[in-house]
Amino acid sequence: MHFVIIGNSAAGVAAVETLRRPGGGASEITVVAGEPETAYSRCLLPDVLAGRRAEASIRLRPADFYRRLGVTLFSGVRAVELQPGEKKVLLKDGRELTYDRLLLATGAAAVRPELPGVRADGVFVLRTMADARALSAVARRVTAAVVAGGGLVGLKAALALKLAGVAGVTVVVASPRLLIRQLDERAAAMVEGELKEFGVQFIYNAGVKEFITGTGGRASGWRQDGGRFSPGEHLSGHGPDGGRELPAGCLSGVVLDDSRELPAGLAVVAKGVRPETELAARAGGRVGRGIKVDEYLCTSLPDVFAAGDCIEVTDRLTGQPVNSALWTLAFEQGRFAAANMLGQRRAYPAPLTRLNSARFGAVDVISVGRLDGPEVFTLDDPLSRTYRRLVFDGDRLAGFILAGRVDGAGVYTALVKSGRPVKQHIRALLGGRTGEVAVSGLMAR
Amino acid sequence: MPKQVLIRFERCVGCRSCQLACAVAHSEAKSLYGAVLNGEKPRARVFVHQAGEHKAPLNCRHCQDAPCIDACIAGAMHRKADDTVTNIGGEQYCTACWMCVMVCPYGAVRSDAAGTMAVKCDRECKDDQGVPACVRACPTGALVYAEVDAYSAGRRQGVLLQALGGV
C-alpha cells in the first residue's frame, strides 16, 4: 500500500504518526511539501519574527522524524496536478507519484486583498517560515509598521514587530474592537490594554485603501542608516533626511479609507486565510467552504482523503458548513483521516470551530463555542485580573470566554462539546471551580 | 501493559495528602521542609475536588488519543515510551499558549506559578519501587497504581466518556 500525503503541517504530521502506529501495516508513505522546511509550528512564527526563537526551535517534530518513521519526504516541491482516474499526483519538478490512497492536507493561504500597491516591497503576510524570515529582515530596518487586521494573526504580528524593535506599530482594525470573532468587549479591552502597554497603537473602524510606495517621493517613514534607508524613523516625513528618495517600489506608507495617510516602511496584511482547494477542484472534487469531505474525511474523489485547513467542516453548534482552519482540528482530522485510510472506518464527529487560545503579553484569552446566546453570565474580577463569560442555551453551556486566568478551561470546552446539562453548576463554573463540575459528572454515572 | 493511576472515588476522604506529596515530589528540595525553607512554591498536578458530598482526586488520565497532544502548537506535548503524556523532556519546550489547558476535559493541565509553562502529571515522582508520589501518599487506598486490563480499561474509558461527553 502506498500512501501519499500532500502537505506537511499539523494534519500531515498527525496522519504520518497515525499511519505508523502499531497495526498500521508495512505501508510506503510519501509526503510532498510545498515548503522547503520540515514541519514547523505556524502559530509560533510571530516568536521567530520577534527574535525570541530560532527557526529550528519551532520545528514540530525532531529532525529525524521522517527517517525514523520511514517516510519519503519531497520538500520544497508543490503538487500541481491530481489525476484521480490514474491515481497519480504530478509534482512541479515533473515527477509523478502513484498512490493507493491520497491525503490532501494542503492547508490554507493568507488572503491578500487586491488593493493598489499590495504587491509592493514591504507588504507582507505572515503565514509561512519564508514570510517570517522576510519580515524579520525588513523589521530590523524599519521604525514604523502598519498591520491591517485586528484578528489573532494581526495582533500577534503587531506585538512581534514591537518586540523586534519597530518603534511605531499601528493596527488598523475594520471592526469597532479587536478580536471581534473571538472576544466580547470586556475581554478585547483587556487584550487591547496589554498591547497598548507594549506601545502598539490602534485605529478602529478603518481599513487600508492603498499601499503607497516611495517612487520618487519623500522618504516618509524611513530612517537613513549607514547610507541605507530604513523605513519609519521620520514619522512626519519631514526629518533631516526626509527629502531623500526611496528605492522604487518600496513601501512608504498606507492610505486609509478616510484618506488618512500613515507612514510605514512595512505592512502586514492579516485578513484571514482561504483554503487551498485548487488541486481537488481541478481534479473534479467537490468544493464548498473548503474541500468537501464525508464523515470519514473522504473527498468526492475515490481514495482521496482530506484534512486540515483545506477542508469544509460542519460546526458542531450551528450545523453550518465552515472552513476548518484551526490547528487543533487539523491535528485530529489528520489522525481520523489516516485511520480511515487504513480502513478502520472512524467517523469524525462535528467539531467546535471556535476554539482559540492566545497569549498577549501577560493576558491569556481562551474563546470556545458561541460568543452570544439566550443567557449570558459574566464574572469580572479586576483584582485577580480574571474575566469569565459563560453563554447558556437552556441548560447547556454553549460557549465561553476566559481572559486573565484560564486554568480549567478544558472542562468548559468539554461541556460545550458534550451538551451535558450543567445549569445547576453555574456558580461553580462562574467561580472557576471546574474540578467540582468535572467530578460531579464522573459521580453521576 | 502500561500502568495507570486509578481512582476509587468511594475511598477518598479529601485529605489532600496526594496533592501535597505531588507538589513536594516536584519541588527542587524533594522534601516539604526543604521546599518551604527554600521558598519554593511547587505546584501539585493532582487536585482533590469536592462535588456535593463526595470528594475526589483528579489527575491526568494520559488519554489514548490525547487532545493535549493534538492541540500542542509547539510539539512539546508528547507520549513517552511508557505511555506517559508529558510536555517536558521532548525536543521542543512548552510555550505557555494554553492550548492543552483549553482542551483537557479533566482540567488536569495548569499553568506553573509564574505562568511560563503548562504543568501536568508527568510521573517524574516515582519512588524506588516505581510508585507515584500521590499513590504512595494516599492513606485510604483511594489511588491505585495498577495495570489496566482491556475490560476495565474499556469500562473506565466508557465511564469517563459518558461523564464528560465523548471527548
pLDDT in tens, A152-173: 999 999 999 999 999 999 999 9
Nearest Cα of chain B lies from the Cα of A242 at a distance, in angstroms, of: 42
Residue B153 has pLDDT above 70, yes or no: no
Q: Which residues of B touch A58 (CB under 8 A)?
A: 74, 92
pLDDT of residue A241: 42
| Cα of A86 vs its chain's centroid, Å | 34
Q: How far apart are CA B71 and CA A155, in angstroms?
A: 21
Q: Which residues of A touch B111 (CB under 8 A)?
A: 406-407
Same domain for B52 and B13, yes or no, is yes
Same domain for B116 and B133, yes or no, is no
Q: How far apart are CA B26 and CA B20, in angstroms?
A: 10
Same domain for B109 and B128, yes or no, is no
Same domain for B138 and B115, yes or no, is no
- Sign (positive/negative) of CA torsion B128, B130, B133, B139? negative
Confidence of residue B134 (pLDDT cuts 50, 70, 90): very high
pLDDT of residue B163: 45
Put simply, whether B166 touches A (Cβ < 8 Å) is yes
Please state which of the ranges A147-151, A250-254, B38-42, B146-150 shows the lowest mean pLDDT.
B146-150
The CA distances from residue A221 to A1, A146, A258, A417, in Å, are 58, 11, 20, 49
**Do A2-44+56-109+273-341 and A123-269 agree at the fold level?**
yes
Say how many CB pairs under 8 Å bridge A and B. 147
Average pLDDT over residues A7-15: 97
The three cell numbers of residue A56 are: 529550528
Q: What is the mean pLDDT of chain A?
A: 91
Sorted by where each begins, the domain ranges of chain A are 2-44+56-109+273-341, 123-269, 370-443
Put simply, whether B117 touches A (Cβ < 8 Å) is no
The CA distances from residue A241 to A140, A144, A236, A244, A247, in Å, are 19, 16, 11, 6, 14
Q: Which residues of B touch A437 (CB under 8 A)?
A: 51
A434 CB neighbour count, 10 Å cutoff? 23
Query: Strand order in A123-124's β-sheet?
Result: A123-124, A266-269, A144-148, A168-172, A200-203
ipTM computed for the complex: 0.89
Residue A233 has pLDDT above 60, yes or no: no
- CA-based nearest residue in chain A for residue B162: A445
Question: In B66-163, at which residue ranges do the beta strands (DSSP E only) sit?
Answer: 78-79, 85-86, 110-111, 118-119, 143-147
CA within 13 Å, CB half, A126: 33
Instruction: Express as a percent the part of chain A with pLDDT over 90.
Output: 85
Put simply, whether B53 touches A (Cβ < 8 Å) is no
Nearest to B165 among A419, A440, A445 (CB): A419
pLDDT of residue A439: 84
Confidence of residue A319 (pLDDT cuts 50, 70, 90): very high
Within 8 A by CB and 6+ apart from A401, the residues are A182, A183, A184, A187, A365, A366, A367, A371, A387, A388, A389
Same domain for B68 and B148, yes or no, is no
Q: Which CATH class is domain A2-44+56-109+273-341?
A: alpha beta
Confidence of residue B155 (pLDDT cuts 50, 70, 90): low
User: What CATH number has the domain bearing residue B28?
Assistant: 3.30.70
Q: How far apart are CA A339 and CA A241, in angstroms?
A: 62
Same domain for B48 and B76, yes or no, is no
Average pLDDT over residues A95-122: 96
Do A41 and B75 lie within an 8 Å CB cutoff?
yes
Do B95 and A47 lie within an 8 Å CB cutoff?
yes
Same domain for B21 and B41, yes or no, is yes
Same domain for B133 and B150, yes or no, is yes
Same domain for B30 and B78, yes or no, is no
Same domain for B116 and B69, yes or no, is yes
Q: Cβ distance B20 to B156 under 8 Å?
A: no
Do B115 and A357 lie within an 8 Å CB cutoff?
no
User: What CATH number has the domain bearing residue B94?
Assistant: 3.30.70.20
| Residue B80 lies in domain | 63-120
Residue A442 has pLDDT above 90, yes or no: no
**Nearest CA-CA partner of A270 in A114, A138, A147:** A147
Q: Which residues of B touch A43 (CB under 8 A)?
A: 73, 97
Put simply, whether B64 touches A (Cβ < 8 Å) is no
- CA-based nearest residue in chain B for residue A57: B92
Q: How many domains does chain B have?
A: 2
Architecture of the domain delimited by A370-443: 2-Layer Sandwich (3.30)
Nearest Cα of chain B lies from the Cα of A90 at a distance, in angstroms, of: 30
With residue A306 as reference, give the H or E element that holds it.
strand A304-306
Put simply, whether B8 touches A (Cβ < 8 Å) is no
Q: Which CATH class is domain A123-269?
A: alpha beta
Q: How far apart are CA A144 and CA A155, in angstroms?
A: 15
Same domain for B99 and B128, yes or no, is no
Same domain for B133 and B89, yes or no, is no
Reading phi first (left if > 0) and then psi (alpha if -120 to 50, else beta), residue A261 is in beta
Q: What is the mean pLDDT of chain B?
A: 86
- CA-based nearest residue in chain B for residue A47: B95
